[in-house]
Structure 1
């Protein structure tokens, strides 16, 4: 138990420090190349923090267990919105007004979600669906980079020279390793208390692979770089739906075995829009509602309601 607790605490430390370096390096790259912080967050940082989902899902498909891949992506996307984004918006409700995101970026995330649902209606994510999803992913990337070369939209963002790349890569490595340590430590602790392994897998895998987004986004708003925070969350969801499942579908067919969870993903994705339309008081209330909704969703999964 002591060893598991040490692993858990080391993981937390790596997450916090890694997120700090990752955000600092990413924002420095934005300043260095004249790209908006929101675009950097929406692409480079979002894809980096989604590496745990990518590794877990692709390995699961290759191992002949596509259900884990689909469940991991759906659970992570719901957690990104109803947990990570909700917490960030509650802490800093002025995400849009301070350059955190605009409706174009939100629209791109909703478009990716809609395309994912359309492909799901076929009952399986096969090679054809994978090609369509990856093609859409490339189109979204093109749109983002075409509109990303604008003046720096974050206050206090500066380049660290050649250190930017080292900070970004090193911070990302620390975040990914830290997330794995946290998941491993928490799982071992939970097992020692006799919690069923299926409960551990359903809860800790989805939330665990969302820990990099949570750590990076919270660190970003603490550094008043909201563009990286929100862009990271929205971009990560696009990466998960189109790239992770798209690549997985090319490896092996992924059957749609949880339509209810796909519906939940669609509903939580749509719930992002009101979050950015009201004032600070409304945003905090809506954020709290998302957190309550997430707790209710978890309770429903485990038949607690």
Structure 2
């Protein structure tokens, strides 16, 4: 019985990966036809679309009255992206060149927005007001980066040209969305089932395991980036995806109708996340890249994070 449930769980993650892949590839073709700026495509469009699994899981968890699932999943995405996926990109790609980097000020702002949900959970509960603030933070980030980089090339954008859109790609996006949402239903249900079987909080399963599964699109981009050498595009997507998680966190908190939900003893987790992001910022600003050695250090922080969370989850 347990083995069958585990297989269904894993197959659901594979389905989410395939569905998100359909969405991202089709949207990428759209963006080139629409002549949007490359940074806009990477940071905002691909960043938001690779968060489709998180969106689907969040909608399902809110609908079923289990907000701790989306809380753990979205916060878990921070170490997965910055302490696991990007370090892997650096280790196997012999470093990550941050060619489409933000200014020092805006990179700090982006990382601050990314860390904001963890800060909100730091007092062991999240409220409606904090949810609204998180949404506003993402909107402010969008405005600031649009001023620096420009989301749309206003002189050449084809966004209003109907011929820029392919019906085939639209159908693929819709199919991908359907696959992701159906899979998310199984994922949330099995997460709750395993939490009950193992007698641990769904928050910790979501933080450690679910966050890995819903970030498979980002992981697949890392593999493609290593093979093709286009690591700069992937970096923009990872920043955008992590920032989009802040928007989703705020949205789902508001959708929970102001429900306050507790996360016990989260402060130590917040300290690890803060230390990890601080290291990432220091490494990325030192030489405008992350070396293989620095990638190993960041990956080590992720391993420490996982060990700590597993130990704490099993000793509550």
Relative to the length of structure 2, the TM-score reads: 0.71
* Runs of 5+ consecutive residues of structure 1 not aligned to the other structure: 153-158
Matched, 1:254 2:261: yes
Q: Whole-Å Cα distance in 1 between the matches of residues 164 and 283 of structure 2?
A: 33
Matched, 1:203 2:211: no
1:284 aligned partner: 292
1:269-280 → structure 2 map (5 Å cutoff): 269-277=277-285
**3-state SS in 2 of match to 1:271:** helix
Deviations 1:135-188 (A, max 9, x none): 122222233445233599xxxxxx996255455555566667678889999999
Q: What count of residue pairs does the alignment treat as equivalent?
A: 292
Report the more deviating stretch, 239-248 or 132-141: 239-248
Q: Is the 8 A contact 2:131 2:253 kept in 1?
A: yes
Q: Is the 8 A contact 1:27 1:228 kept in 2?
A: no
Q: Whole-Å Cα distance in 2 between the matches of residues 174 and 216 of structure 1?
A: 19
Report the more deviating stretch, 197-206 or 211-220: 197-206
Q: Is the 8 A contact 1:23 1:216 kept in 2?
A: no
Q: Is the 8 A contact 1:46 1:236 kept in 2?
A: yes
Equivalent of 2:152, from 136, 149, 152? 149
Q: Is the 8 A contact 1:88 1:218 kept in 2?
A: yes
* Runs of 5+ consecutive residues of structure 2 not aligned to the other structure: 157-162
Q: Is the 8 A contact 2:90 2:290 kept in 1?
A: no
2:72 aligned partner: 71
Relative to the length of structure 1, the TM-score reads: 0.73
1:1-305 → structure 2 map (5 Å cutoff): 21-92=22-93, 93-97=95-99, 99=100, 101-103=101-103, 106-113=107-114, 115-116=116-117, 119-120=120-121, 124-146=125-147, 147-149=150-152, 162=166, 163-170=168-175, 196=198, 198=200, 203-250=208-255, 251=257, 252-257=259-264, 258-277=266-285, 283-303=291-311
Q: Is the 8 A contact 2:83 2:299 kept in 1?
A: yes
**3-state SS in 2 of match to 1:149:** coil
Q: CA deviation at 1:7?
A: 5.7
Deviations 1:237-282 (A, max 9, x none): 2122233244314522233531222222222222322343456996
